[in-house]
Amino acid sequence: MARRRVLRPEERDLWQAVARTLRPMHGIENSALPEDLVPEAIVPKETLPLPLPPREPVLPRFRLGEKAVPVQKPAAPPPLQMDAGLHKKMIRGKIAPEARIDLHGMTLAVAHPELIAFLLGAQAAGKRLVLVITGKGKQVYEPVPRPIGALRHQVPHWLRLPPLSAVVQEVTEAHLKHGGTGAFYVWLRRG
């Protein structure tokens, strides 16, 4: 086993000069080197900070022969709010949408008010099933990461927030003949 090297006087002086200029990070007063990294000849044991309390393990302890704790399942999708038969016809593309809006090429700032105006107008006109086309988005190779298909990801959130949450009853991905993953069926409540 290797012996611990003793610091020379000039090394000890240099270490003490550096140690006096240090400040704790993030306001934590106990931030110092671990005991095994600080030579005992420089810092007496009484001046060392108190050890931090042990962190709780992320996973519970497991012993051989024990049964594993069951993993919690993700939250179930919201319950269907419309007739199941009608919903089945809608997702199979058997019902034609009564109106549609194409948000291709729009920015998020332009698309949001357009979508609100379209859906409120469609409900006022007595329409029930409308098609919202967002596009699938395309892969962009840049040094700065950008979300792919920003509209495709943002539109379902907008439909669940006011003022559209009072108008929209059901949102489902469109059938392939109506746009597939780049479009949504929106079932509106009666006016």
User: Do residue 105 and residue 179 come from a single domain?
Assistant: yes
Q: Is residue 68 part of a domain?
A: no
At residue 57, does pLDDT exceed 90? no
Of 57-61, 87-91, 158-162, least confident by mean pLDDT is 57-61
Q: What is the pLDDT of residues 141-160, one digit of tens each?
A: 677 766 678 899 899 999 99
Instruction: Indicate the average pLDDT of the chain.
Output: 80
For 9-165, where are the alpha helices, taking DSSP H only?
9-21, 84-91, 108-124, 150-159
User: Do residue 25 and residue 94 come from a single domain?
Assistant: no
Q: What's the CATH code of the domain at 161?
A: 3.30.1370.110
User: Do residue 107 and residue 160 come from a single domain?
Assistant: yes
Give the list of residues 6+ apart from residue 96 with CB closer than 8 angstroms, or none: 129
Q: Quick one: average pLDDT of 167-176? A: 91
Q: What is the pLDDT of residues 113-142, one digit of tens each?
A: 999 999 999 999 999 999 999 998 876 667
Strand order in the sheet with 99-102: 99-102, 129-133, 183-188, 168-173
* Per-residue pLDDT at 30: 47
Domain range for 135: 84-188
Q: Is residue 163 part of a domain?
A: yes
